[in-house]
Amino acid sequence: MRSLDRYGPAALGFGGFVLFLVVVEILIRLGLINGYIVPLPSQVIVALERVIAEEGILPRFLLTAGEALGAGLLVALIGIPLGILLFEADLLRRATENWVAAFAAAPIVLVYPLFLVIFGRSSWTIIAIGTVAGLPPVILKTLEGLAGVRPVLIRVGRSFNLTPWQQFRTILFPAAVPTIFAGLRLGLIFAMINVVGVEFLINFGGLGPLINELSERYDMPATYAAICFVVLVSVLFFLAVERIEKWLRPAS
């Protein structure tokens, strides 16, 4: 029973995914899905080896992962302090909160020419766009997390005569960690989408240009195989974020 509790969800998730691939395979083979547009999952699996051996996927994977890491770190290092600043400065919060929220919905990627002018056709453009796209949810969720701390916890801190810094370090921040991390996850999604998207658009960097190139060659199995590596970058980042959150707040 205990092992079912522990491994059951992962096994069900993996099993469901395999079942989905099997169903797609059958539907393509039956001609119900166009095999020219969607490749056979079995061909994608075979193409994984080809992509690794022939397309130099490892350095490309590391480059995209590095850009995503850079954007993710900047999103956290800029977004969380900005959220704290808005929490502390009420006037600033009221003046900018709606703007930040509107910014979250804006298609930042469309202003890539501006970033190209500023940073050139380099990884810095990709990291900068990824960072700008990932900032709004982190700022808003940090603000929401801090503003939502239960008043009684703040009163406990006051009753122990904590300094403002102690109050922030020992009560406000740890209490807000789950909400801040919800924002970080969203921010990372936005950053990741934009990193790969801009790589694709400016044909520079790691996995984005490879996907572009493979799709233009109409090598659909290899295109999907390369997309699998984008998913892998995303999975690795989510696991890392989960680890950091667990470390910061073990009871989460």
Partner 1 sequence: MSTATNLHQVSRKGAAAATGGQPILTVDHVVKSFETPQGKVTAVDDMSLDVRQGEFVSVIGPSGCGKSTLFNMIGGLLSITEGEIAVAGERVNGPHPSIGMVFQEESTFPWRTVEENVAFPLEIQGVGKAERLERAQHFIKLVGLQGFEKRFPAELSGGMRQRVAIARTLAFQPKLLLMDEPFAALDEQTRLLLGDKVTQIQQELNQTVVLITHNITEAVQLSDRILIMTYRPGRTKRIIDIDLPRPRTSEIVGSDAFGRYVAEIWNDLREEASQGMQDEEALAQQRKRP
Nearer to partner 1, 61 or 173 (CB): 173
Binding of residue 159 to partner 1 (CB under 8 A)? yes
* Residue 189 binds partner 1, judged by CB under 8 A: no
* Minimum CB distance to partner 1 smaller for 94 or for 169: 169
Q: Which stretch binds partner 1 (CB under 8 A): 48-56, 167-175, 201-209, 233-241?
A: 167-175
Q: Coil, strand, or helix at residue 53? A: helix
Q: Verify binding: residue 241, partner 1, rule CB under 8 A.
A: no
- Is 31 among the residues that bind partner 1 (CB under 8 A)? no
What is the distance between the alpha carbons of residues 108 and 98, in angstroms, rounded to a whole number? 17
Q: Are 123 and 205 in contact (CB under 8 A)?
A: yes
Side-chain-side CA neighbours of 59 within 13 Å: the count stands at: 6
Considering only 15, 27, 81, 166, the residue that binds partner 1 (CB under 8 A) is: 166
What's the rounded Cα separation, in Å, for the pair 237 and 5?
25
Residue 70: CB minimum distance to partner 1, A:
29
In angstroms, what is the minimal distance from the CB of 233 to partner 1? Answer: 30
Q: Out of 11, 23, 58, 156, name the contact with partner 1 by CB under 8 A.
A: 156
Residue closer to partner 1, measured from CB, 14 or 160 = 160
Euclidean distance between CA atoms 35 and 40, whole angstroms: 7
Q: Provide the angle, in degrees to the nearest 10, between the axes of the packed helices 123-147 and 173-202.
A: 160
Cite the DSSP H helix spans in 57-172.
Answer: 57-88, 90-105, 112-119, 123-147, 151-159, 164-167
The two three-digit tokens of residue 21, written as one number: 């691939």
Min dist. Cβ of residue 3 to partner 1 (A): 21
Structure tokens at 61: 């994977």
CA distance 41 to 173: 45
In the block, tokens 């990627």 appear at: 109
Q: For residues 95-154, which are near partner 1 according to CB under 8 A? A: 150, 152-153
Tell me how far, at minimum, the Cβ of 154 lies from partner 1, in Å.
10
In whole angstroms, how close is the CB of 160 to partner 1 at the nearest point? Answer: 6
* Residues engaged in binding partner 1 (CB under 8 A): 150, 152-153, 155-156, 158-162, 166, 170-171, 174-175, 177, 249-252
